[in-house]
A and B are shown apart, each in its own frame.
Chain A
Amino acid sequence: MKKLASLLGVLALSLLLSAVAAFGLAPAAQAKEAKIGFAFSMTGGAAAYGATQKNGAQLALDEINAKAGADGIKLVALFDDDASTPQQGINVFNKFINADKVSVIMGPTLSNTAQVADRIAQQAGVPVLAISNTAQGITEIGDFIFRDSLTEAVVIPNTINTVKAKLGIKKVALLYGNDDAFTKAGYEAFKNALNQAGIQIMSEQTFAKGDRDFSPQLTQIKGMNPDAIVCSALVEEASGIVAQARQLGIAASVPIIGGNGFNSPALIKNAGQAAEGVIVGAAWNAASPLPLNKKFVEDYTKRYGVAPDQFAAQAHAGVYILNEAIKKAGDPNNRKAIRDAMTQVKDLDTVLGPFFFTPGRDAGSQPVVQVVKNGKFAVLGN
């Protein structure tokens, strides 16, 4: 009898405990967390882009998390370095997916890395938002791959047409890196756009990643007297090319027209005076009067001491897009629901302007054409 009473007592106690536990858990479950893996190039050839991407993303994360109340979803950021190489990109993606169990991945910085790393995420069913991949064939990897960066196929024809209309160029020389997915894709887009615009390509010259001496190619180009030099290169090589072109005496009246790789303040810093007049197609209009964009430029400059570039803007917008999708999905751990919610993002206010994804999961925003003037990117037209 005594035994039965004590047994009942234990039972009652355990019931009470479990009830307390259940109540105790409920508020904790309400402050939901969504883990986001950020794979950016902090070292290697693309380190200049990766650094500003991290800054832009961090700014957006802090803004969103500051607002996320008791019922909001907190974004937990995991940053890792893809070292500008596909090999390291694969390692980082595997770690994010299997060890950290992130809900969604942002990055990697380079298209070259994305070509292989994104396939791993697609197989594992983890949504990826690319924020700087501009080569063709990235979102074609699968239905979990999105991007808020405009493809070269959108930006470059716009650049060429604008430059043709404003400057009336008729014949150009092409210079590009032929051992990299991004610079090669840029070259192909330029070639198509030039052919369609009826601009003559006088010569095509190439270089390899890590080259420091471009004077042989530039000397040949100078000898042909082109109206402009069209160049597809990453920022390290681009800086060398721009500086050496002006040093070799290619007149400032012959503009150098670059792809997305030129789109970094690092180019202006590296090449200095020689960067004046460089023309770059861009996905983000730094001088846009939209209130959100103005605030972004102000806050970013205040926090980091330098003006943001397109890569920071795309990262900032990317975090807002992911936040919107995760909120719409409701469950931060349901990767499939987040993917489906991504396709529903529409008219979202971002620093890139009102944002939506095209049916091909590419960015639906508008490109602009910029020119370097007095050490800053200014708008040439759009």
Chain B
Amino acid sequence: MNVLGQQLVNGLFIGGMYSLFAVGYTLVFGVLDILNLAHAAVFTMGGLAALWLVQSAGLSIWAAFPLATLLAGVLGLLVNQVAFVPLRRRPDTYFSGLISSIAMAIIFEALAMQIFGAHNVRFPAGTVPVVIWRLGGITITLLQVEILATVVLLMVTLTQLLKRARIGKAIRAVAENQRAARLLGINVDGVIAFTFFLSSALGGAAGILFGLYFDSLSPDMGRPIELKGLAVIVLGGMGSVPGAILGGLAFGLSEVLTVAISGTSNLRDAVAFTMLFAIMLLRPSGILGKGRTREA
């Protein structure tokens, strides 16, 4: 029982990070109907930027976290401005935007390689105080609680923002129908830029938490999570924020339980993607996808 409980906790944390990553991914898709494939690179840059701020600039993680998150958001603006805006007024933006975002991802990764080298880097010891609790045989660290709290806080803020704030309503309006939103006087380009900022900031935050949790960062750390993020948003329903949260948790739990039951990590991805395949067959629009209607 303790073992199972611990595995559920393990899966929850991994899943929480997947959710945070995927929410940013799905947000841009919900608004633009376009995948931003530079999202995983922004995730990496967020983590590495936080490391740089802690290690070289000597900041505490409490200052480095919001700064690096902000920086990731600015990178999102850059991705929008360089990879998407110039193409938006041309026909067939769909695939050209996809390709140019891959180019941005490669540029970011190469940049990270130049600055940090190809090897794994780590946060200095004691970046986050190590506190460990044991509750009836289940171990939870302070870091895990902080990560969970951050994830929940960011998710709740995002949901409330989309639901109640003026900008959130504008995002939803643009997601629903760009032309109608423009006619109603909404600054569509501004809203899209803000969506990129929000999406990338969340992706960067996920990168920082990932780096802290596993205490290991490298320029290519975004690659495995890119594919998983894609699977998570397909699983949850493209463009659906609650779907991405649910999908991330489901994906994390399936991974951990697969390893726990089989005793090997080789089957981890196979089971997760088979699950994705099955859901695609049974519910082509994903768990919370609603066919053609979108929700941002």
Contacts and interface: CB of A to CB of B under 8 A. Distances in A.
Interface of A: 43-44, 47-48, 178-179, 203-208, 210-213, 215-217, 219-220, 222-223, 236, 239-240, 243, 247-249, 270, 272-273
B10 A215 contact: yes
B91 interface: no
A272 B215 CA distance: 12
B57 interface: no
Given A213-B14, A216-B256, A219-B7, A178 B264 contact: yes
B260 A240 contact: no
Q: Tell me whether chain B's interface is mostly helix, strand or loop, or mixed.
A: mixed
A272 B125 contact: yes
Interface in B216-230: 216, 221, 224
A82 to B, nearest CB: 13
A270 B122 contact: yes
Given A206-B264, A272-B125, A240 B132 contact: no
B166 interface: no
Contacts of B14: 213
Contacts of B139: 247-249
Given A179-B266, A206-B266, A216-B259, A44 B214 contact: no
B120 A220 contact: no
Contacts of B214: 212-213, 240
B58 interface: no
B3 A249 contact: no
A220 B10 contact: no
Given A43-B119, A212-B216, A236-B120, A217 B265 contact: yes
B6 interface: yes
Contacts, number: 82
A348 B286 CA distance: 69
Interface string B12-38: 001000000000000000000000000
Nearest to B5: A219
A207 B260 contact: no
Nearest to B14: A213
B263 interface: yes
Given A204-B263, A208-B265, A220-B3, 11 more contacts: A43-B119, A178-B264, A210-B224, A213-B256, A216-B11, A216-B255, A217-B260, A220-B263, A239-B216, A240-B214, A240-B215
A57 B220 CA distance: 31
Nearest to B117: A43
Identify which of B119, B221, B257 gathers the most chain A CB atoms within 10 Å of its CB.
B119
Nearest to A272: B125
A275 to B, nearest CB: 11
Contacts of A243: 215
**Most chain B C-beta atoms within 10 Å of own C-beta, residue among A178, A204, A272:** A272
Nearest to A51: B119
Given A43-B118, A248-B6, A249-B139, A207 B263 contact: no
Contacts of A213: 10, 14, 214, 256
A208 B6 CA distance: 22
Contacts of B10: 213, 215-216, 219
B134 interface: yes
Contacts of A206: 263-266
A203 B122 CA distance: 31
